[in-house]
Homo-oligomer: A and B are copies of this chain.
Amino acid sequence: MPILQVHLLKGRTADQKRQLVREVTEAVSRSLDVRPDQVRIILSEMDREDYAIAGTLVADRS
């Protein structure tokens, strides 16, 4: 505990992912008073064709 799942659009670099998991883990650890090794993060990437806002695929939005 805690376990986080992050839904994000494809296209981030490995370094962006490294920064993301490091900084989110620090934020969770500080605010929930848990050790970093208790924090697990799952990154679920999506194509722009697999995410919609207001009934329109992001791939179809200008």
The chain A residues found within 8 Å of chain B, CB to CB, are 1-9, 12, 14, 16-28, 30-33, 35-37, 39-46, 49-60
Residue of B nearest to A36 (CB): B54
Is A7 touching B7 in the complex (CB atoms < 8 A)? no
A24 nearest CB neighbor, chain B only: B27
Provide the bound-state CA to CA distance between A45 and B10, in Å. 14
Whether A4 pairs with B1 at a CB distance below 8 angstroms is: no
Which residues of B lie under 8 Å from residue A40 when comparing CB positions? 3, 40, 51-53
Which B-chain residue is minimally distant from A6 (CB atoms)? Answer: B4
Whether the Cβ atoms of B3 and A4 lie closer than 8 Å is: no
| Residues A42 and B36 in contact in the complex (CB < 8 Å), given A2-B8, A57-B21 | no
